[in-house]
């Protein structure tokens, strides 16, 4: 907090949302405000013996700064402060736009309070765009950003057909939980990979032509995936550029299933209980709550009223538009700084919490820009940032700040 | 061996089939020979502290003999020797028929050498009927026998789609082993419980009208199963007497399946590997080897050439005819001894090794007759036989020996 105050921020600490959330604000010449999201917590640096220098004693060697949190997320945060300082220095002590910083302390445990905090403080966090906690360059050194993340609904499907396992000599009359679970799972997805829950796709927005154009420019991971994972055929026989485009296909993934005997050799039992961990990756504007309800209704209609559906986790999808002026500003300034093409991934396959900030603030665009590269060793020993990445990241942020006021 | 020699048997010991197999023979007045199968090995009596008297110091209390192996299988064996002695005593020192005893020492580990031994010694074991290791009365005190056992084929289906688990963010392109295994399993059985492997039922003999008559007389376990196992609906909606008759339905049972994350909460991965333990219970004259081969061919035809099918165990089905004269002799003599109706179960749902003796000897009938009742505590502490059951069991065997020569 004192660091922010020294840099001219009005700072407020919020204590009733788990670890304190810090919000800093500086007004600018325009009424437009850019929001930065960062976090001050780090993953545990253990095992300590794997570090070349102690994790909490920052050390510079070979043009890089080594420390626990150097990349995730303190290096990012400091680069942003440096960019703000630089712009203020050039502009006679003021900023062309307002800046709001949100710095939380629970990112590494999944930000359980972030969505609620933003919903309840939307007014003071009002802004027209945001920059996510991190950013930087891809393995080939090109600056890049995701424009969103798929949502997710994680469930546990639990079937119990007997009070206890039975001898398989009774398999002609005793209902088998594994078979019943298998029927449930089979009802979720067709052989063409379409998800069969009625209304599942009701709110799924079609990707635009521009989304596909951006995806087609991105590196193709075909050969890498075949090599690293030994894949012979991709889902649905997908090939070449369809692999990138398929990120807009919502998925129904079996993350695990469990029933009966799992040891060596055979044991002839009828499992009393079977369960499957399933996750659905969903695209804008699918809603995990809506899908959960539709799934329950569907299973009931199929007669699977005995099958429990437990909600384990959910994240809403989020995506900015490829042609949003803020995205175009980010692209132009990145190409000025990095002198390389800027890659835009319309939506990441992963799920992220950008929605938690974007949605309560009116669906503002959120991009990534920062100091990372392909091998920061985040969450590992010898986590580091390269100093040159730090300077470029700060330069990029500074140019975004410089251009942001004029976008409206 | 000395025990058998004292009782007048010619005895031979066979050492090249695991634990020694003992064969004893006494000739009779007719050329017909009755074979008895027994074993001298026992399950470990541990934990010893649960025994009221030491497991290997036989003790009589309350009209019962307590010892490890009292029922399984030494009491049975001794009752048979007693019956042989009694018949000889009445018949002037000779038996009306020949008797061959086969006593092995690996029954408790699944008799891995029995089938081979009988195949290779069919000539010296030649006989026209056999009595299995045990027998006795059901929970209501009625003498009973099974006339056969279903066979079994136990397999492990193994699917590997990736070199290692992957993040479920790639589920739209990376093949999921759990989903693929699920497709394999779905291809094995229809919703009507019919097994879909082409030719699966080719050698399945239809049960006779008499088989169904016998099954309809047997107790109905409907209420018991509903109570003990909490079953709400039996497989295929079976009810009342169909439950007994369904034993002639071959089964495809999932004994266990395993894939991906199985812990608490969610972990969003794509499982690289999935496997399922499946057992098929099969009826005469289905052949587990034949079914294994047909399954492999079927999966290949469906394009599942990447799916491994490992054979874990197999047992052939076996069944004597309800109207076989030996079965009728057993029934008549049981009703003379026990003064209660004799229950005939045409085939047990379980799988047993009767085929290993019956088939090499030309498909001879094999029944159960012995000293057991519903609560001998076999494989448990305080294993015992009731003395009265011992006498009745020996009387039953004696009457069978007495009538056997005249059957031809």
pLDDT at A273 over 90: yes
Residues 6+ apart with CB under 8 A from A116: A17
- What residues of A are in contact with residue B172 (Cβ under 8 Å)? 235, 246-247, 249-251, 281, 349
pLDDT digits (tens, 9 = 90+) for B3-43: 999 999 999 999 999 999 999 999 999 999 999 999 999 99
Contact: A268, B152; criterion CB under 8 Å: yes
The pLDDT of residue A1 is: 80
- Please indicate, yes or no, whether residues A69 and A181 belong to a single structural domain of this protein: no
Question: Contact A163/B230, CB-based, under 8 Å?
Answer: yes
The verdict on A8 and A99 lying in the same domain is yes
- What's the pLDDT band for B221 if we cut at 50, 70, 90? confident
Q: What is the pLDDT of residue B403?
A: 96
* B20 and B36 part of one domain: yes
From chain A, pick out residues whose CB is under 8 angstroms from the CB of B191: 183
CATH code assigned at B21: 3.40.630.10
Q: Are residues B44 and B191 in the same domain?
A: no
DSSP for B61-109? ETTEEE-TTIIIIIIHHHHHHHHHHHHHHHTTT--SSEEEEEEES-GGG
Does residue B41 form part of some domain?
A: yes
pLDDT in tens, B272-308: 999 999 999 999 999 999 999 999 999 999 999 999 9
Q: Indicate the average pLDDT of chain A.
A: 96
Q: Considering CB atoms only, which of A254, A266, A312 is closest to B255?
A: A266
Q: What is the mean pLDDT of chain B?
A: 96
pLDDT above 70 coverage of chain A, percent:
100
Q: Residue B190: inside a domain, yes or no?
A: yes
Cβ(A30)–Cβ(A97) below 8 Å: yes
Q: Which of B154, B156, B262 has the CB atom closest to A256's CB atom?
A: B262
* pLDDT at position A408 over 90: no
Over range A83-88, report the average pLDDT: 96
- CB contacts < 8 A, A to B, total 222
A-chain CB neighbours of B176 within 8 Å are 235, 253-254
189-218 in chain A: CB under 8 A from chain B:
189, 191
Query: Residue A31: what pLDDT?
Result: 94
Q: What is the pLDDT of residue A221?
A: 84
CA distance A10 to A4: 8
Contacts of A253 in chain B (CB under 8 A): 168, 171, 176, 268, 270
Give the mean model confidence (pLDDT) for residues A65-69. Answer: 97
**CATH number assigned to the domain comprising residue A184:** 3.30.70.360
A residues 151-170 lying closer than 8 A (beta carbon) to B: 152, 154, 156, 161-164, 166-170
- How many structural domains comprise chain A? 2
Distance CA B339, CA A313 (A): 66
pLDDT for residue B240: 84
> How much is the average pLDDT of A63-85?
97
Asked if residue A213 belongs to a domain, the reply is no
Is residue B128 predicted with pLDDT exceeding 80? yes
Give me the pLDDT at residue B241, please. Answer: 84
| Closest residue by Cα to residue A9 from A87, A79, A119, A85 | A85
Cβ of A162 and B230 within 8 Å? yes
Q: How many residues does chain B have?
A: 408
Do the domain assignments include residue A37?
Answer: yes
Residues B116 and B154 in one domain: no
Query: What band does A248 get if pLDDT is binned at 50, 70 and 90?
Result: very high
3-state DSSP of B106-126: CHHHCCCCHHHHHHHCCCCCC
Task: Give kind and range of the element (H or E) at residue A79.
Answer: helix A76-90
A225, A247, A279: residue with CB nearest B266: A279
Is residue B230 assigned to a domain? no
Name the residue range of residue A25's domain.
2-147+320-407
Instruction: Decide if pLDDT at B408 tops 80.
Output: no
Distance to chain B for A324, nearest Cα, Å: 25
pLDDT at A91 over 80: yes
| Same-domain check for residues A60 and A166 | no
- Assembly ipTM: 0.92
Confidence of residue B1 (pLDDT cuts 50, 70, 90): confident
Segment B79-95 mean pLDDT: 96
Task: For chain B, say whether A230 makes contact (Cβ under 8 Å).
Answer: yes
Integer angstrom CA distances of residue B321 from A383, B251, B346: 76, 22, 8
Residues B274 and B157 in one domain: yes
Positive/negative CA dihedral, B204, B205, B206, B209? negative
B269 and B197 in a common domain: yes
Q: pLDDT grade, residue B53 (50/70/90)? A: very high
Label residue B76 exposed, middle or buried (CB < 10 Å: 0-12, 13-18, 19+).
Answer: buried
Per-residue pLDDT of A390-401, as tens digits, reads 999 999 999 999
How close is the nearest chain B Cα to the Cα of A275, in Å? 9
Q: What is the pLDDT of residue B300?
A: 98
User: Using one digit for the tens of pLDDT, what is the confidence trace for B169-220?
Assistant: 999 999 999 999 999 999 999 989 999 999 999 999 999 999 999 999 999 8
Contact B171/A at CB under 8 A? yes
């Amino acid at each position: 907090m004192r660091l922010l105050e020294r840099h001219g921020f009005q700072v407020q600490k919020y204590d009733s949302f788990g670890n304190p959330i810090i919000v800093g604000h500086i007004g600018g010449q325009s009424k437009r405000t850019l929001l930065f999201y960062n976090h001050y917590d780090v993953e545990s640096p253990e095992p300590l013996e794997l570090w070349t220098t102690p994790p909490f004693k920052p050390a510079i060697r070979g043009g890089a700064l080594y420390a626990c949190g150097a990349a995730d997320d303190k290096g990012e945060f400091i680069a942003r402060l440096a960019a703000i300082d630089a712009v203020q220095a050039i502009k006679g002590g003021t900023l062309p736009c307002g800046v709001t910083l949100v710095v939380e302390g629970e990112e590494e445990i999944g930000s359980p309070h972030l969505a609620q905090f933003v919903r309840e403080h939307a007014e003071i966090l009002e802004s027209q765009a945001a920059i996510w906690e991190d950013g930087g360059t891809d393995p080939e050194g090109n600056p890049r950003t995701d424009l969103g993340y798929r949502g997710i609904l994680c469930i546990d499907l639990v079937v119990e057909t007997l009070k206890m396992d039975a001898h398989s000599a009774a398999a002609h009359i005793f209902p088998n939980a594994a078979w019943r679970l298998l029927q449930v799972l089979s009802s979720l997805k067709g052989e063409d990979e379409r998800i069969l829950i009625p209304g599942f796709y009701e709110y799924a927005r079609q990707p635009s032509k521009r989304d596909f154009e951006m995806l087609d420019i991105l590196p193709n991971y075909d050969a890498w995936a075949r090599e690293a994972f030994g894949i012979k055929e991709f889902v649905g026989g997908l090939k070449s550029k369809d692999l990138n485009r398929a990120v807009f296909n919502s998925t129904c993934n079996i993350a695990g299933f469990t029933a009966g005997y799992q040891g060596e050799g055979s044991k002839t039992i009828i499992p009393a209980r079977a369960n499957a961990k399933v996750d659905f990756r969903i695209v804008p504007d699918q809603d995990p709550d809506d899908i959960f309800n539709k799934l329950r209704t569907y299973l009931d209609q199929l007669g699977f009223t005995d099958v429990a559906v437990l909600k384990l986790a959910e994240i809403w999808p989020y995506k900015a538009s490829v042609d949003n002026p803020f995205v175009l500003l980010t692209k132009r300034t990145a190409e000025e700084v990095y002198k390389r093409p800027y890659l835009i991934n319309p939506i990441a396959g992963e799920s992220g919490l950008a929605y938690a900030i974007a949605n309560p603030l009116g669906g503002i665009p959120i991009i990534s820009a920062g100091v990372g590269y392909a091998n920061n060793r985040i969450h590992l020993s010898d986590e580091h940032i390269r100093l040159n990445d730090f300077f470029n990241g700060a330069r990029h942020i500074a140019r975004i700040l410089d251009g942001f006021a004029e976008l409206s």
